[in-house]
Amino acid sequence: MNARKDNLSAYLFLFPALLLLGIFVFYPLLQLLFVSLNEWNILKDQMTFVGLKNYQEILHEESFWQALRNTVFYVAVTVPVGMAVSLGLAVLLNDKLKGVGFFRTAVFTPFVTSTVAAGVIFIWMMDYDRGLVNAALNAIGLSRINFLQSDKWAMWAVIVMTIWKQAGYNMILFLAGLQGIPEMYYEAASIDGARRGWQTFRHITWPLLWPTTFFVLVISSIFAFRSFEQMFVMTRGGPVGSTTTLVYYIFDKAFKFGNMGQAAAISTLMVGIVLLITWLQFRGQKEV
Amino acid sequence: MTTESKQKAYFHYALALFVTLIFALPLLAMLVTSLRDPAKAAAGFSLWPDSFHWQNYIEAWRATNFPRQFINSLVMALGVTAGQIITSLMAGYAFARMEFTGKKPLFVALLATLVIPFQILVIPVFIILVKLSWINTYWALIIPSLANAFGIFLFTQFFQTIPYELEEAAYIDGASRWTVLWKILVPLAKPAITTLFLFTFIAEWNDLFKPLVFTSTKSMRTVQLGLTVFQEQFKVDYALLMAAVVFVTVPSILLFFLGQKQFIKGIATGGLK
């Protein structure tokens, strides 16, 4: 084919994308590191080099550790539970079911609903006096819970909303993965006397589905780690910081308190964590 | 079918129906409540529409400046989507059809941008936009999002599935690469373009973070930002709130229903490569 190198025209075609990604992704990555080493208040527009001072200050702030703990907790619950729910949905809503398209659409629609809209709906569903959830609790004789005003429950409310919104997307990925498993494996197993159910799932479906599962794991972790909007809409990071995630913390530091240096230091730490997690996951993938 | 497998099939069906209903419940309840009498909706929850208060929609639409917010969201979403399609088509063509120095490392570097969320880069991007005096303008909402690695991969993959013979004939006739891309490949790439259009438009329409950080005045608010403000103002006036949620959500859901096949296919193929 056209194996001869054609640097000039190739880079002309790449130019718009590379220029934009250069200015708005690659340059910011470097700039982030630079800003994190400076004390900079946006209101005064004054920059002073302070070395690692921002990092030291953050690591001594209890609210930073709280945000880190919140984020880890949120990711550690949302990702595995969300994956289990969507894998269950994919198995339940398989091709053999009549009218399956309708079911899948219903499950998928929350994904195209905006986080703000979904958040407002869940604020209402979890309302103390007027919400569906408390009406249901009341009906079965349990006492009402003020979900979004309780530092014990608020994060759970956000997690439930996120899983509801995200499940359809992961289900589509799992469905594609399930369709990629050749039917003959199941036929062979049934000749050997295995019954369709838990046995075939464990010994055929689960191992052969692993590449998909791994991909969903990576994607969901990245999604969960950057969460901000659901907290902004449902709880504004509260009560008492119980739903303040790292991105929320960055947002507060930068745009509420104008402390760009510290906000950049947290961002830089987050870039490090993201790269580390991605690397670990891919290393884990190779070993399996 | 044996009785046992018949029973199993019924059970499967009932379970699927039950789970689907649970998932559909919040959006169904939203629709019902958007039409209820505001006073009754503020008093308690009901899944039964006791009335049809279409005025809720008119009142919510007029309460804050939703018409202006719709225009802002539309400008942002269409601008970003059109730009991303063009930059991705061009870059995807280079990756799929040309050999050049640094091709592999460049591709890996683009892949890496997918794991770095925009939220983490917001401070330096904000600084750039301040220096350009673009804060609180359409430029701030559109330009930083005009190129995205996802679109580039989508078209790289798509072009690789198109046989080369078609282009070869055009080259023999003396066509340039530029002409080949726009006259031959782009018309063939309609399914992939539709996929990217749906993904990007819906993502931009639904985005809160960018307008929240990059705009400062009422007149630049997008629908999602407007909805958070609306929610703060109307707190427990749930009938009006749900009416507002409905019309903010309708564009995304409508687009998804229209292009459902392409949308689902986009997720499934993007997921497996």
Contact B205 A114 (CB under 8 A): yes
CA distance B37 to chain A (A): 14
> Three-state secondary structure along A14-77?
HHHHHHHHHHHHHHHHHHHHHHHCEEEECCCCEEEECCCHHHHHHHCCHHHHHHHHHHHHHHHH
Question: pLDDT digits over B60-93, tens only?
Answer: 898 888 999 999 999 999 999 999 999 999 999 9
Place B273 in a pLDDT band, splitting at 50, 70 and 90: very low
Indicate left, alpha or beta for A141 from its phi (over 0: left) and psi (-120 to 50: alpha).
left
Q: Which two tokens stand for residue B227?
A: 């909805």
Please tell me the distance from the alpha carbon of residue B164 to that of residue B153, in angstroms, as a whole number. 19
User: What pLDDT is stored for residue B272 in this prediction?
Assistant: 37
Nearest to A93 among B16, B101, B260 (CB): B16
CATH 1.10.3720.10 fits B65-234, yes or no: yes
Q: Which of B24, B120, B207 lies closest to A106 in CB terms?
A: B24
Place of tokens 């004789």: A141
Rounded to the nearest integer, the mean pLDDT of chain B is 90
Would you say B225 and B208 are in contact if contact means Cβ atoms under 8 Å apart?
A: yes
Nearest by CB: A24 against B125, B207, B257: B125
pLDDT > 90: percent of chain A: 63
CA B180 to mean position of chain CA atoms: 29
Q: CA-to-CA distance for A222 and A180, rounded, in angstroms? A: 25
**pLDDT tens track for A260-279:** 999 999 999 999 988 888 88
Q: Compute the CA torsion angle A245, A83, B201, B199 (nearest 10 deg).
A: 140
Report how many Cβ contacts below 8 Å link chain A to chain B.
Answer: 274
**Three-class secondary structure of residue B229 per DSSP:** helix
Q: Contact, A265 vs A54, CB < 8 A? A: yes
State how far residue B97 is from chain A, nearest Cα, in angstroms: 8
Q: What is the mean pLDDT of residues B120-135?
A: 93
Nearest to A132 among B29, B205, B264 (CB): B29
Percent of chain A's residues with pLDDT above 70: 96
The answer to whether the CB atoms of B209 and A123 lie below 8 A apart is: no
Residues in chain B within 8 Å Cβ distance of A138: none
Which chain B positions have a beta carbon within 8 Å of A106's beta carbon? 20, 23-24
Sign of the Cα torsion A147, A244, A74, A167 reads positive
Tell me how close the Cα of A109 comes to any Cα of chain B, in angstroms: 7
Domains and CATH numbers, chain A: 52-287 (1.10.3720.10)
Closest chain B C-alpha to A92 CA, distance in angstroms: 6
pLDDT at residue A281 in the model: 78
Q: Confirm if A268 and A32 have CB atoms less than 8 A apart.
A: yes
Q: Are A88 and A201 a contacting pair, CB within 8 Å? A: no
Pair B240, B38: CB distance under 8 Å: yes
Q: Looking at chain A, which residue has its C-alpha nearest residue B15?
A: A92
CB atoms within 10 A of CB B61: 16
Q: Do B26 and A114 touch (CB under 8 A)?
A: no
B24-52 burial, b at 16+ Cβ within 10 Å, e below that, comes to: bebbebbebbbbbbbeebbeebbeeeeee
Inter-chain residue contact A212 with B227, CB threshold 8 Å = no
pLDDT at B271 over 60: no
Give the pLDDT of residue A1. 45
Closest-CA residue of chain A to B249? A113
Q: How far is it, in rounded angstroms, from Cα A132 to Cα A245?
A: 27
Which of B88, B149, B268 minimises the CB distance to A176?
Answer: B268
Q: What 3-state class would DSSP assign to B232?
A: helix
Q: Identity (one letter) of the amino acid at A63?
A: S
The residues near A272 (Cβ < 8 Å, ≥ 6 apart) are none
Rounded to the nearest angstrom, the minimum Cα separation between A185 and chain B is 20
- Judged by DSSP in three states, B132 sits in coil
Q: Return d(Cα B124, Cα A250) in angstroms, integer.
A: 12
Please judge whether B126 and A254 are an interchain contact, meaning their C-beta atoms are less than 8 angstroms apart: yes
* Cβ–Cβ under 8 Å, residues A124 and B241: yes
Mutate which of B37, B89, B119, B196 to test chain A, going by most A C-beta atoms within 10 A?
B119
Do residues A134 and A145 lie in contact, with contact meaning Cβ atoms separated by under 8 Å? yes
Residue A279 confidence (pLDDT): 84
| Predicted pLDDT at A288 | 54
Q: Which of A166, A274, A187 is nearest to B115 (CA)?
A: A274
Report residue A71's pLDDT band, with 50, 70 and 90 as the boundaries. very high
Q: Which of A31, A176, A255 faces B271 most closely, judged by CB atoms?
A: A176
> Would you kindly state where each structural domain of chain B is located, as residue ranges?
3-56, 65-234
- Taking Cα atoms as reference points, which of A63, A74, A249 lies closest to residue A157? A74
